[in-house]
């Protein structure tokens, strides 16, 4: 295959994901990545790496007990990279080195950032970085403070749990370092609300957020993509919440034993 064909945006993006997955697999197979200091089977490492980079949240082992702190850092880095986007990161790196991009570079970055036009690539890439840092930081600080104050976790444990779940939420990764996910926080709005906030902001997509930033005061100038995304998100979240409340309100295995406020909170969270 010719080099030009390999550099085509349609091939560069999946190739970058493949390389990241292979690197993640190799790191997770290191003995230091497992809690018991024994090398993980390649299929477990590969599956976890694919799930993290592609932000699916599917796991075959318990993230919090099977992997060491190093292994959990690797997993978190992978779903951060997968959610952030390899080509978005490459675009930002290019901005620091050289402020001008060739057409091919812009097309490749556009393919992953979903920028509306080639001229939007640079501004979208910068916006991606700032939104990611700000939302994840707000969520991480809020969660860490709550875990420290209400659950009396040591500051180090509270900060790590807050950071891991904030990044996982923003990237819609679905990973948790708790075996029961977030079930233990089912009635704690100070935990669930920041996570829902991060999930929704991350789920809207950067082109939508970028469009809202530029045209927030003039909704009639929003792109069709922005309007469809906002309306669709609102309808799905509202409809999902109503259906969950309707079907599970009296179910003793789910919402039945909760006070009305907690039922609503859990239904909203599940819908998000």
Is 233 within the bounds of a domain?
A: no
Asked whether 94 and 126 are in contact (CB, 8 A), the reply is no
Is 71 within the bounds of a domain?
A: yes
Is 31 within the bounds of a domain?
A: yes
Is 176 within the bounds of a domain?
A: yes
- Where does residue 205 fall: left (phi above 0), alpha (psi -120 to 50 degrees), or beta otherwise? left
β-partners of residue 34 are 67
**What would the pLDDT profile of 79-124 be if each residue is shown by its tens digit?**
999 887 754 555 454 444 445 555 455 555 554 445 444 445 566 6
Q: What domain count does the chain have? A: 1
Is 256 within the bounds of a domain?
A: no
Is 231 within the bounds of a domain?
A: no
Residue-level pLDDT at 207:
76
pTM for the structure as a whole: 0.84
Residue 50 backbone dihedrals phi, psi, to 5 degrees? -60, -45
The helix (run of H) or strand (run of E) holding residue 244 is helix 224-248
Q: Which domain holds residue 22?
A: 3-222
**What would the pLDDT profile of 164-182 be if each residue is shown by its tens digit?**
999 999 999 999 999 999 9
The number of residues in the chain equals 272
Q: Given a cut of 60, is residue 44 above it in pLDDT?
A: yes
Is 201 within the bounds of a domain?
A: yes
**In 33-49, which positions are buried (b, 16+ CB within 10 angstroms) versus exposed (e)?**
bbbeeeebeeebbbbbb
Is 239 within the bounds of a domain?
A: no
Residues 6+ apart with CB under 8 A from 86: 13, 16, 17, 20, 112
**What would the pLDDT profile of 186-224 be if each residue is shown by its tens digit?**
999 999 999 999 999 988 887 788 788 888 888 888 888
**What would the pLDDT profile of 131-151 be if each residue is shown by its tens digit?**
899 999 999 999 999 999 999
Residues 6+ apart with CB under 8 A from 176: 63, 64, 164, 165, 168, 182
Q: What is the mean pLDDT of the chain?
A: 86
């Amino acid at each position: 295959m010719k080099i030009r064909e390999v550099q085509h945006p349609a091939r560069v993006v999946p190739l970058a994901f493949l390389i990241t997955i292979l690197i993640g697999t190799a790191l997770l197979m290191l003995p230091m990545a497992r809690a018991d200091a024994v090398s993980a089977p390649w299929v477990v490492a590969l599956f976890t790496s694919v799930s993290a980079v592609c932000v699916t949240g599917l796991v075959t082992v318990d993230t919090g007990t099977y992997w060491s702190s190093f292994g959990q850092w690797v997993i978190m880095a992978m779903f951060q990279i997968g959610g952030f986007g390899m080509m978005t990161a490459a675009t930002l790196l290019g901005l620091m080195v050289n402020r001008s991009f060739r057409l091919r570079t812009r097309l490749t970055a556009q393919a992953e950032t979903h920028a509306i036009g080639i001229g939007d690539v640079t501004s979208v890439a910068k916006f991606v970085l700032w939104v990611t840092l700000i939302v994840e930081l707000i969520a991480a600080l809020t969660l860490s403070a709550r875990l420290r104050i209400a659950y009396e976790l040591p500051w180090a444990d509270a900060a790590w749990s807050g950071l891991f779940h904030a990044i996982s939420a923003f990237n819609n990764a679905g990973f948790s370092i708790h075996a029961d996910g977030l079930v233990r926080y089912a009635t704690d709005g100070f935990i669930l609300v920041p996570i829902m906030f991060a999930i929704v902001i991350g789920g809207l997509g950067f082109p939508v957020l970028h469009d809202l930033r530029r045209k927030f005061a003039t909704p009639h100038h929003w792109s069709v993509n922005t309007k469809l995304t906002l309306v669709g998100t609102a309808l799905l979240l509202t409809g999902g919440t109503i259906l969950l409340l309707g079907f599970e309100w009296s179910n003793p295995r789910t919402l039945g034993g909760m006070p009305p406020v907690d039922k609503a909170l859990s239904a909203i969270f599940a819908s998000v």
